[in-house]
Chain A
Amino acid sequence: MSGRRVVITGVGVVAPGGIGRKAFWDLLSSGRTATRPISLFDAGGFRSRIAAECDFDPLLEGLSFPEARRMDRAAQMAVVAARESVADSGLSPDGLPPERVTVSVGSAVGCTMALEQEYVVLSDGGRRWLVDHTYGVPHLYGYMVPSTIATEVAWTVGAEGPVALISTGCTSGLDAVAHAVEVIREGGADVALAGATDAPISPITVACFDAIKATSANNDEPGTASRPFDLHRDGFVLGEGAAMFVLEEYEHARRRGAEVYAEVAGFANRSNAFHMTGLKPDGREMSAAIDAALRQAGRAPGDVDHINAHGSGTRQNDRHETAAFKRSLGRHAYEVPISSIKSMVGHSLGAIGSIEIAACALALRHQVVPPTANLHHADPECDLDYTPRVAREARLRTVLSVGSGFGGFQSAMVLTGGPS
């Protein structure tokens, strides 16, 4: 089955700033930001009180009442994004052999929002270690095992091929799409629903990032708090959302005349085996992932027209990946427009890798590089072209997207496309 190529033919997005891929692209191309004071719970008493939230109501987005009730917010967002991607692809689920459809969903923290909410009920606000089972909702086990998110996505189209949830922390969104691409390439399916979701804006997750001061505490300026590559950055702004894709084997897409966003041409992941949260400044392992992804795509470093950076806005990360880009692309690193959309939609942990793939697919379609918002005074050690504040038209054929996460995981994906 070697030689099978995989293309993106449908995109669905639930992101801060608006539901759906059109609202998402409007936000990115205008350089607006969707970061704001946390409204999902009372964040008084927390160090970081800002986030990039989605104005998301599952019932308004077409979920039935029972569906909304049994699913955690992360699953709801994944299902809504999945339905949009299927509609966008023009595929009719009825015409697909179920066993030839695979599903791969990434998520870093799964259904932790519902797990925490239910815990508060069962433990009487943390007062009972021996929690009271008589108040347990029937969906509780489904929250404990996040594979149920993949189950819900599979049910949206009745997929009966391989189904999995991929949970590699903040690289989950890249790794989950890559996993589906592998399954299609090796012949295990012709169509995939792949992407990622996370809904981490809940007290426990906000508190755990408070504890390690990873998030921005710039509570007075929520709209401009996410400042990747800027000298005045002080951590990432937590986000939420989902992006799902219809992936198809190339011939399958071509035969039905599908409109293609991009080909997933290359992927690789490496690990730094160094520290669960720390990064060495040399960017060595991320660079190794980039090199391998370009090799798989059959592209040279000089072919890269745009990089979607991980650009979380932590002091360490932005220098780490700047070093990685220089290491892999050499002089060309200084010429490539780079952007961090986390400046606008925050860092939605496992989801963001897929949300950024959606940004890359839309960038290829519109031939526009989204900007890095809030970048006014670049860190002298971050001396590349990060497309500050304003989107830019550019000739895009080969786009690189990278992710870096807890555990030391580094992932890189190469997407190709644009007008032929």
Chain B
Amino acid sequence: MITGLGVMAPTGRTVAAHWSAVLAGRSALTTISQFDASGYPVRVAGTVPGFEPRSHVPGRVVPQTDRWTHLGLAAAAQALDDAALDPATVPEYEMGVTTASSSGGTEFGQREIEALWRDGPSHVGAYQSIAWFYAATTGQISIRHGLRGPCGVLVTEQAGGLDAIGQARRLIRSGLRAVVTGGTDASLCPYGVVAQLSSGRLSTATDPSRAYAPFDAYAAGHVPGEGGGMLIVEEAQAAAERGAAHRYGAVAGYAATFDPPPGSTRPPALGRAIRGALADAGLAPDQVGAVFADAAAVPELDRQEAEAIAEIFGPYGVPVTAPKTMTGRLYAGGASLDLVTALMALREGVVPPTSGVRCPVDELRLDLVRDSPRQVALEHVLVVGRGYGGFNAAVVLSR
């Protein structure tokens, strides 16, 4: 059972602000302003406006950690607060942390490598060893909140948030009372953006309102973003016994698959992940009220995803949405934020829209929720995530 949510995203620094932005179809994509990106063929990104680490993170920890960890600590504290769960009331080894990480402390790392190569080895700071590596956020959350149970970090790029919540459920089943899970990312420094450019999947469009248009005839890559979401997964009975204020939904199904190697004649494995998650939840496709798509905005990947959805749910068989068009792809934070958005949709009975799509590709046969939200009675929703290199994951959330 998910009992707490936290958000640090381009669309808002609280769950309420994020939810009202996505419901209104209000995109947070803007022209990159953190650094002079005029020399790069990517101009648009989703940044978390007005995020002041010192307001969210203990002052001592701020210089010891990267922005990705600042965002993670802020979202985790918010989620614990939302759950009104005091970790001190949980038996000491029965609460853990499992986050998704994608590229670690990118900007921190760039600064330290710069110092090393420009000024010499003795100019590398003492915190590089604990700020750059992929486990920094999990470790800092564990320490800040005194969580002594199992800690983990999954790296599967944009699928990571789903694999992390799958792992959180595993831990609950093995006897834990509660797990902090989710993910964030912050790679909008020059080296981070240039590295992302090399994937060939970034949108080079300059108009923020059209730069990220999945399932669109003009789809030409995604917009990068920063931020993400954190969730508190709690053993259902324990949550009921303590009278948890929020019961947003349950992780009813989860499955992960991997695509065949390049050049293989075997089909992509995304459909098998979706079917696996449905089977795990014990549901038929027609019981799912909405699909939160991965929405790569790379034509071939969009086609694979649309085919999998149409094959399982039927052509135009289920409302499909991608609110990430308003934040950009957040990598380790992306699927976690989608989980938060999907849980709010379940609770409110409304599917938030996809923005930026004006020329949907008819052959994809998707019932894409566009521009304005759609009221739907939702009992179960599906969240899909795909990570660079072949990772597929699907999660079914149920009321």
Contact = CB atoms under 8 A, between A and B. Distances in A.
Interface in B81-110: 93, 96-97, 101-104, 106, 109-110
B157 A147 contact: yes
Contacts of A150: 155-156, 389
Interface stretch (B17-25, B138-146, B225-233, B343-351): B138-146
A145 B102 contact: yes
Contact of B116 (A207, A277, A406): A207
B27 interface: no
Contact of A273 (B143, B154, B390): B143
Given A98-B260, A123-B114, A133-B41, A164 B163 contact: yes
A274 B143 contact: yes
Interface in A133-186: 133, 136-148, 150-151, 154-155, 158-169, 175, 179, 182, 186
Contact of A141 (B120, B199, B257): B199
Interface stretch (A4-12, A28-36, A102-110, A333-341): A102-110
Contacts of A103: 258
B134 to A, nearest CB: 4
Contacts of B316: none
Contacts of B152: 166, 168, 175, 179, 269
B112 interface: yes
B151 A271 contact: yes
Contact of A204 (B64, B116, B136, B388): B116
A140 B194 contact: yes
A275 to B, nearest CB: 7
B117 A136 contact: no
B53 interface: no
A408 B192 CA distance: 28
A273 B146 CA distance: 5
Specify which of B151, B190, B260, B387 lies most central, judged by the most chain A CB atoms within 10 Å of its CB. Answer: B151
Contacts, number: 269
B76 interface: no
Contacts of A256: none
B190 A129 contact: yes
B170 interface: yes
Contacts of A137: 198
A158 B261 contact: yes
B125 to A, nearest CB: 6
B39 interface: yes
Contacts of A143: 195
A271 B96 CA distance: 8
A154 B195 contact: no
Interface string B256-282: 111111101010010010000000000
B128 interface: yes
B150 interface: yes
B41 to A, nearest CB: 7
Contacts of B196: 141, 144
Contacts of B114: 119, 123, 126, 129
Given A99-B269, A164-B156, A277-B130, A285 B148 contact: yes
A288 interface: yes
Interface residues of A, number: 84
A204 to B, nearest CB: 5
A60 interface: no
A130 B35 contact: yes
B135 A167 contact: yes
B149 A271 contact: yes
Interface string A336-358: 00000000000000000000000
Interface in A196-214: 203-204, 206-212, 214
B124 A211 contact: yes
A255 interface: no
Nearest to B147: A273
A122 interface: yes
Contact of B133 (A130, A160, A169): A169
Nearest to B194: A133
A36 to B, nearest CB: 19
Interface string A92-131: 0000001100010000111010011001101101110111
A158 B260 contact: yes
A274 B151 CA distance: 13
Interface residues of B, number: 89
B242 interface: no
A133 B197 contact: yes
B118 A45 contact: no
B58 interface: no
Contact of A211 (B103, B125, B146, B264): B125
Contacts of A207: 116, 121-122, 124, 128
A366 interface: no
A109 B129 CA distance: 10
B205 interface: no
B157 A145 contact: yes
B126 A212 contact: yes
A142 to B, nearest CB: 7
Nearest to B258: A163
Contacts of B255: 162
B391 interface: yes
Contacts of A276: 64, 130, 136, 139-140, 143
B128 A270 contact: no
With most chain B CB atoms within 10 A of its CB, the pick from A110, A164, A166, A209 is A164
B40 A133 contact: yes
Nearest to B272: A99
A47 B130 CA distance: 19
B113 interface: yes
A352 B138 CA distance: 21
A37 interface: no
B151 A409 contact: yes
Given A136-B197, A147-B389, A203 B116 contact: yes
A408 B113 contact: no
A156 to B, nearest CB: 9
Contacts of A214: 129
Contacts of A247: none
B187 interface: yes
B153 interface: yes
A131 B194 contact: yes
B333 to A, nearest CB: 13
A175 B125 CA distance: 28
B312 interface: no
Contacts of B192: 144
Contacts of A116: 113
Nearest to B267: A160
Given A119-B191, A211-B124, A108 B133 contact: yes
Contact of A165 (B156, B197, B262): B156
Given A162-B163, A207-B124, A285-B148, 12 more contacts: A144-B187, A158-B264, A160-B257, A160-B272, A162-B256, A164-B154, A165-B155, A166-B154, A204-B112, A211-B129, A271-B147, A276-B139
Interface of B: 35-36, 39-41, 64, 93, 96-97, 101-104, 106, 109-110, 112-122, 124-126, 128-130, 132-136, 138-140, 142-143, 145-157, 160, 163, 167, 170, 187, 190-192, 194-200, 255-262, 264, 266, 269, 272, 331, 387-391
7 contacts: A119-B117, A126-B114, A163-B391, A164-B155, A186-B170, A208-B112, A270-B93
7 A-B pairs with the lowest CB-CB distances in the bound complex, closest first = A407-B139, A126-B117, A126-B118, A151-B389, A167-B134, A141-B199, A140-B198
